[in-house]
Structure 1
Amino acid sequence: MLRSMLLAAAMANAFPALAADDPVPGLMKAADVPGLAVAVIRNGKVVSVKAYGYRDVEKKLPLTTDTVMYAASLTKAAFSYALMGLVDEKKLDLDASIATDLPKPLPDYDKYADLKGDERWKKLTPNLLLSHRSGFPNFRFWPPGKDFDDKAPLKFYQEPGTKYGYSGEGINLLQFVIEKGKGIDVDKLMQDRLFKPFGMTRTSMTWRDDFAANNTIGYDMDGKAIEHKQRGSVRAAGSMDTTIHDYANLVAAMVRGDGLSKATYATWLKPVVRIHSVQQFPTMGAPDSNDNDSISLGYAMGVGTFDSPRGPAFFKGGHDDGTNNVFVCLERSKDCVLIMSNSSHAESMFPALMEATLGKTCFPWYWEGYIPYDQPGLKGQPVVPNQHPACPAK
């Protein structure tokens, strides 16, 4: 019923920001989501920014458009966009080995000593790291097919450059190379290239004391409250705090290509690898699938890419316990939607919200693991390839 209301609203006013008889609160209730924020971009301009529900359920504190929320892996997309400015200025060669920038071999640094004796690290380039083709797991403490192990060594589980495998470890390595090899402070880079130019006044790569008065409590799948982490170190893979207002400004800048030459912007969005895994997580070992062949699902320099009925599209999600975020942009029309939440349940709403704001996109929701709230039968079922095409034929 709620999904049909959303679709009816979209049909009544082609691709509206959000309908006047806003169904989102009812949708949140159905999906058990305490707090949600949505921004809509049309033709490269932010036209709607709304917040719903609570940032703190126990205290009944409302979520607002200026509430500081955890960006999670939306940080990666921002980091990649900032790096493309260095590409424009010939300060970063996407296809050069990281060995050309580091003053000493990577395994000579304590953090990467596990790679001693494995020369494959020299094959790594910014291109491979940004497009998640490093061969590393998501993080070294999550070895493929095993439980969390904080003593697990860093190692290659796939030959570098051969296959997509989402890796925050690879993104953090690129930050290490930028800082150690080029002497560029990533915190300052983000401030100078993104936060200041795009009016992101309540965004930071680390915790700021002025965030304390208005920030989110997260809620996991069981509804357990999770205090907002006060991150003290910059992590390109996911340390950013931001607001729906601020990150919407960034998404609008991204879809316009602000700050980059046309050639470099095209490079940022050019798919360099096709994705054939049935789902994004686990990052390795999952079976291959043809589910997303019809939309040419792939990855570019920091964002996922696919072919929508309205042309090329790019996207990035962000997930942690008590945090669900995503943005999707259509390149030709420069229409986007950004969704951020303090709930692990929120991603179950994402497919419906995308369709309500952007129309039919053929977004690969099953690959992302966004099981719709109204399809509970899919939860806990075995992941079977070629069963959930992103854009099934009618």
Structure 2
Amino acid sequence: MKKIYLFVSLIGLLCSSRQAISQSHVVTRLDGSTIPGSVIDSTVTTLMDQAKVPGIGLAILNNKKTVYLKTYGYKNKLCGELLDTASIVYAASFSKAVCGFLCMKLVDSKVLDLDKPLYQYLKKPIPEYANFTGLKGDDRWKKITARMCLSHTSGFPNLKWYDPRAVNPDYDSLGMVKIYFEPGSRYAYSGEGFKLLQLALEELSGKTFDDLASELAFKPIGMYRSGYVWHSSFGDDLAIGHNAREQQNIKSKKTVAVAGGSMVTTISDYARFIEYVIQGKGIKENTFAEMIRPQIRIFSKTQFPPISTETTDENEGVQLAYGLGWGLLNTPYGRAFFKEGGDDAWKNYNINFIDRGISIVMICNSVNGSILFKDLLAQLIGDTFTPWKWEQYYPLGYKVD
């Protein structure tokens, strides 16, 4: 068995290397203009130095194919170890996009009904599961569906340990999941919703979420160095995250999957996933259309805190909305779907302009990575549409109101 794992891992490494060296030297932007690789490199490294970001993985797609794949900087700066396209990185909430995709595969096979209340897939009432005991006495849990979890309209908080209504929430050691608004009525980003969805998927399939993801996504796509838990075949090629003061934050190697946030991957693997998705592979055409169809419009001033009364019309021009596992925009260059990810040591962003066949993926092993995104999006692919204020991707020198 170990020999098989090593063989599969070797195939993944070879595929990563081949893709890395076959990158194009010129990238086409949204407006049809081009940017040479030398300018991409100087732009990325200059901004990295200014923001004090140790390492970044970058992938750019033209015509729905990866044409630029490169890493910059370090996976472990203290040891002088360079980041490469096969280095394992923390995907954070990119996990939710993969979860959304595999849910749509289950919809195609008629295993999952997006609008069937999730409790009907479970062996016990939802409040009898350890993570959801706080729902006792609130029967609204009977209304929550897969569609609501994927579109962040479940009414749950993002993380049960923090007050979702506070700008700087205090840690709550009790961590009780509650429903904060009528399920399906509004948008509020929720990792807890994905935990409920994962529970249903695991009981429905009889498999762990990592096994389900391997079967439906990782293996068919060729993502040999990706998982929701750590696999021995990954070796020790692990990139290390950093906080705002450049201090290291080493992620534990997860043994239990979290559908909304435990995935690890490589920049090469995730670029392969984006290629697969935007080329319409793996799911039916109408299922893909439903995945990136607006389920709920978004008017919140910022994405976090996830439950706020503050609203804005600033993103009306791009019709900011949420689909099933992805955020959505409408732009002069057509439709776009995006997903971000991060914590206090990692920042990742991906956006796909499906009608132009142009995508970009950025994975940074520093919380300071968000400082780069506005400028990199504009300069590398001409994306001035990502709602960077809503995402709180404030560039260097920007003063928050």
TM-score relative to the length of structure 2: 0.89
2:326 pairs with 1:306 = no
Is 1:318–1:326's contact at 8 Å kept on the other side of the alignment? yes
Q: Which has the higher helix share?
A: 2
* Correspondence for 2:398 among 372, 376, 388: 376
Aligned to 2:273: 250
Equivalence for 1:171: 194
Cα distance, 1:11–1:22 mapped onto 2, change above 3 Å: farther
The separation in 1 between residues aligned to 2:367 and 2:90, in whole angstroms, is 12
> What CA distance in whole angstroms lies between the structure 2 residues aligned with 1:356 and 1:241?
28
User: Would the alpha carbon gap of residues 82 and 16 (structure 1) be closer, same or farther in structure 2, given more than 3 Å must change?
Assistant: farther
Pairing 1:76–2:96 present: yes
Q: Distance in 2 between matches of 1:168 and 1:21?
A: 34
Match status 1:133 vs 2:133 = no
1:29-44 alignment runs, 5 A limit? 29-44=49-64
1:204 counterpart residue number: 227
Equivalent of 1:366 in 373, 383, 389? 389
Give the match for residue 123 of structure 1. 143
| Structure 1 counterpart of 2:212, from 180, 189, 195 | 189
The CA RMSD over aligned residues, in Å, is: 1.9
CA contact (8 A) 1:279 1:286 kept: no
- Greater mean alpha carbon deviation, residues 237-246 or residues 226-235: 226-235
Q: Which residue of 1 aligns with 2:33?
A: 14
Shift in alpha-carbon separation, 1:116–1:248, aligned structure 2, 3 A? same
Structure 2 counterpart of 1:65: 85
Q: Supply the distance in 1 between the matched residues of 2:107 and 2:28 (Cα, whole angstroms).
A: 42
SS in 1 for 2:69: strand
One-letter amino acid of the counterpart of residue 147, structure 2: N
For residues 12 and 180 of structure 1, do their structure 2 counterparts lie closer, same or farther at Cα, with a shift above 3 Å needed?
closer
Please give the alpha-carbon distance, in whole angstroms, between the structure 2 residues aligned to 1:28 and 1:12.
25
- Which one of the candidate residues 329, 333, 342 is aligned to 1:319? 342
Give the SS at the match of 1:306: strand
2:364 aligned with 1:341, yes or no?
yes
Tell me if the contact between 1:40 and 1:336 (Cα under 8 Å) persists in the aligned partners. Answer: yes
Matched, 1:109 2:109: no
Alpha-carbon shift at residue 20 of structure 1 (Å): 4.9
Matched letter for residue 327 of structure 1: N
Tell me what 1:215 maps to.
238
Q: Does the 8 Å contact 1:143/1:152 carry over to 2?
A: no
Task: Pick which of 97-106 and 18-27 moved more.
Answer: 18-27
Moved more, 136-145 or 106-115: 106-115
2:248 counterpart letter in structure 1: A
Equivalenced residue count is 371
Contact 1:310 1:361 in 2 (8 A): no
Contact conserved, 2:177 with 2:192, CA < 8 A, in 1?
A: no
Alignment of 1:345-356 (within 5 A): 345-356=368-379
Q: Return 5+ residue gaps in structure 1 as ranges.
A: 1-7, 382-394
Are the aligned partners of 2:318 and 2:330 in contact in 1 as well (CA < 8 Å)? yes
Structure 2 runs not aligned, ≥5 long? 1-26
1:85 aligns with 2:108: no
Distance in 2 (CA, whole Å) between partners of 1:220 and 1:314 is 28
User: 1:328 touches 1:336 (CA, 8 Å); kept in 2?
Assistant: yes
CA-to-aligned-CA distance 1:174-208 (integer Å, 9 cap, x gap) = 00011124424321221112111111111111112
Alignment map for 1:147-162 (pairs within 5 Å): 147-162=170-185
C-alpha spacing 1:249/1:9, structure 2 compared with 1 (3 Å): closer
Q: Which residue of 1 aligns with 2:23?
A: none
Identity %: 36
Cα shift at 1:286: 4.7
Contact 2:30 2:356 in 1 (8 A): no
Contact residue 17 and residue 357 of structure 1 kept, 8 A:
no
Separation in structure 2 between the aligned mates of residue 209 and residue 132 of structure 1, nearest angstrom: 33
| Aligned mates of 1:11, 1:236 — CA distance in 2 | 32
- Code of the residue aligned with 1:347 in structure 2: it is S
Determine the structure 1 residue equivalent to 2:254.
231
Partner AA of 1:376 in structure 2: Y
Residues 313 and 15 of structure 1: is their aligned pair in 2 closer, same or farther, counting only changes over 3 Å? farther
Structure 1 length normalisation: TM-score?
0.90
Does the residue aligned with 1:52 lie in a helix, a strand or coil? strand
Distance in 1 between residues matched to 2:32 and 2:269, nearest whole Å: 27
Structure 1 outlier segments of 4+, above 3 Å: 8-13, 15-21, 209-212
